Amino acid sequence: MSAPNTEIPGPADYPHDELLGAYERMSRIRAFEDRLHIENLTGDIPGFIHLYAGEEAIAVGVCDNLRKSDYISSTHRGHGHCLAKGCEVRPMMCEIFGKDEGLCRGKGGSMHIADLSVGMLGANGIVGGGPPLAIGAALSAKTLGTDGVGVSFTGDGGSNQGTTFEALNMAVVLKLPAIFVFENNGMGEATGAAFAVGSHDIAGRAASFGLPAVKVDGTDYFAVRAAAKQAVERARAGEGPSAIEATAVRFYGHFEGDAGLYRTAEQLQEFKDTRDPLKIFRQQVAGIIDGSELDAIDAAAAADVDEAVAYARAAAWPDASEVATDVYASY
């Protein structure tokens, strides 16, 4: 495992607008997830939802290095990845509520949101399902000579899957423009990564496949952004794949409805006090950006989500005659 980059560009190295944009994207994810936590209690959301709050700096720090034409694959905890890659709030909300105006016409739901128009290959109910998709996108970029990249987001649990190992190996063998982002939130459902990850070192294990791999604090937007920048530049230059292990904490249960008995309320509160990527960002930009500007961003994000929920609730269901449309592929 190569040493983490110690010369990380900080807030002073980015234009004001870019800093505001990064916070806006993280704030939008937080508002989206906090609101879904409440909406889910009404029973009006079909299927399971898994919330991304606490991990915002990973999705945004990575995707802020990507172009619309680059591809990402995601996980069952996919809302943050979707929003960071450019999916719109309203059609995402419609999808989660199962409505016809959803990104997948209401047939995907939370765990299968996809939007190819922004390079979002899909949230994925199959743990470890994303890495093979991302290297497929990377192989197509390499074959077509587009200088695009394919990025997979995978949890610490997903890092143990055979599909992930195969994808890591194939990306190295074929020297693909692929980036493996491992979101280590310390838990796979209720099982600790310290138990389930044999090496206790996801980046080190990835490096053993023969690619550069770094470990970063995934609650630090600037650390993630810098690590991903190096990986993306390397991929676009034809130098092959990289891996990033980013550590963070999820603020909600594994899924909405999880009693979360594997951690105490005190532990969770301490995480929220000390490992909140939005609070950390606010501290990092203090003196450069006025807190009131960030407050206004939070208020606008909450208003957008309000509007999207109202819209989605009132929106039409898919017509029954379309039940099989877009479900079966035909060639």
Ligand X SMILES: Cc1ncc(C[n+]2csc(CCOP(=O)(O)OP(=O)(O)O)c2C)c(N)n1
| Contact set with ligand X (CB under 6 A) | 75-77, 125-128, 155-158, 185, 187-189, 254
Task: Decide: 216 and 223 in contact? Cβ < 8 Å.
Answer: yes
Smallest gap from residue 7 Cβ to ligand X (A): 30
Q: What is the DSSP code (8-state) at residue 120?
A: B
Task: Decide: 150 and 177 in contact? Cβ < 8 Å.
Answer: yes
**For the purposes of burial, counting CB atoms within 10 Å of the CB of 194, is it exposed (0-12), middle (13-18) or buried (19 or more)?**
exposed
Considering only CA atoms, give the Rg of the chain.
19
Residue nearest to ligand X (CB): 155
Smallest gap from residue 185 Cβ to ligand X (A): 5
Give residue 80's identity as a one-letter amino acid code.
G
Smallest gap from residue 112 Cβ to ligand X (A): 12
Closer residue to ligand X, CB minimum distance, 79 or 90: 79
Which residues sit opposite 235 in a β-bridge? none
Give residue 131's identity as a one-letter amino acid code.
P
Smallest gap from residue 124 Cβ to ligand X (A): 9
Closer residue to ligand X, CB minimum distance, 189 or 201: 189
Closer residue to ligand X, CB minimum distance, 11 or 253: 253
Smallest gap from residue 76 Cβ to ligand X (A): 5
Strands 187-188 and 191-192: antiparallel
Closer residue to ligand X, CB minimum distance, 119 or 155: 155
Task: Decide: 318 and 100 in contact? Cβ < 8 Å.
Answer: yes
Which residues sit opposite 243 in a β-bridge? 180, 213
Closer residue to ligand X, CB minimum distance, 119 or 188: 188
Distances (CA, A) of 199 to 125, 180, 190, 206: 25, 18, 19, 10
Smallest gap from residue 183 Cβ to ligand X (A): 6
Closer residue to ligand X, CB minimum distance, 14 or 52: 52
Smallest gap from residue 75 Cβ to ligand X (A): 6
Which residues sit opposite 216 in a β-bridge? 246
Query: What phi and psi, each to the nearest 5 degrees, are found at residue 8?
Result: -85, 130
Smallest gap from residue 283 Cβ to ligand X (A): 25
Closer residue to ligand X, CB minimum distance, 125 or 318: 125
Q: Residue 291: helix, strand or coil by DSSP?
A: helix
Helix (H) or strand (E) holding 286, with range, is none
Closer residue to ligand X, CB minimum distance, 71 or 252: 252
Q: Residue 16: helix, strand or coil by DSSP?
A: helix
